[in-house]
Amino acid sequence: ELPKSYDPRNLNGKSYVTVTKNQHIPQYCGSCWAFASASSVSDRIRLMTKGAWPERDLAPQVILNCDAFSDGCQGGHPLTAFKYMHDNGLPEEGCQRYVAKNEECTDINICRDCGHDYPCHAVQNYTKYYVDEYGSVSGEEAMMKEIYARGPITCHMDVSQDFLDYEGGIYMDHEEVMLGGHAIEIAGWGISEDGVEYWILRNSWGEYWGEHGWARVEMHKNTLSLESSCSWAVP
């Protein structure tokens, strides 16, 4: 039975989500699909470990470098990112920092270190985090059940100018012209004082966008196509 609201940012006063990031630093890169997939798995790990130290922030840059089924900064899909995590594992960001560009999939571009008086080199001994299974989900009830049972999911959405300019509150569809596609994470849902149900959406455009990098979007109307094409992965 699903609760009226579920927000992993505040479960009995404790946050079970990882840090907010920005895919467009140090330069523009269409890597939303890599960020959404890495953050959803990172947040699921945080839920599975009950928020225990250390926080695992998985590296979207490795997905850009090594997902052979994507176009890196030119676009991709969370399902192929999940396949890469399933087959190869993914290190945390301390292994490979985000540079917002496509790089060759070599050992040094998966996990590296650089010395004070010696060149950068590939690190061989590091931890990888794998995905056990992954799949698709759509429709609000199925999405809510998956989130409540196992944690955040990724979803494809359409982007309007209104969404680009969003600063807070519950976003409602105004039949705007859609400018393109985007991938985000949905972590939970809630209900406003006047009875409007909404999704709790994590974006990858920095904390200065929306509600500290997050948004609330009206449910049950397939607003911005959010309820049509989603995916999940189990760490």
> Which residues are catalytically annotated?
32, 182, 203
Amino acid at 134: Y
Question: How many angstroms separate the CA atoms of 113 and 123, rounded?
Answer: 6
What are residue 28's phi and psi, to 5 degrees?
A: -65, 135
226: left (phi over 0), alpha (psi -120 to 50) or beta: alpha
DSSP 120: -
Question: How many angstroms separate the CA atoms of 193 and 52, rounded?
Answer: 33
What are residue 231's phi and psi, to 5 degrees?
A: -145, 165
Question: How many angstroms separate the CA atoms of 143 and 188, rounded?
Answer: 9
Q: Considering only CA atoms, which of 223, 215, 188, 218 is closest in space to residue 4?
A: 188
Which is it for strands 214-218 and 170-171: parallel, antiparallel or unpaired? parallel
Q: Considering only CA atoms, which of 186, 207, 154 is closest in space to residue 8?
A: 186
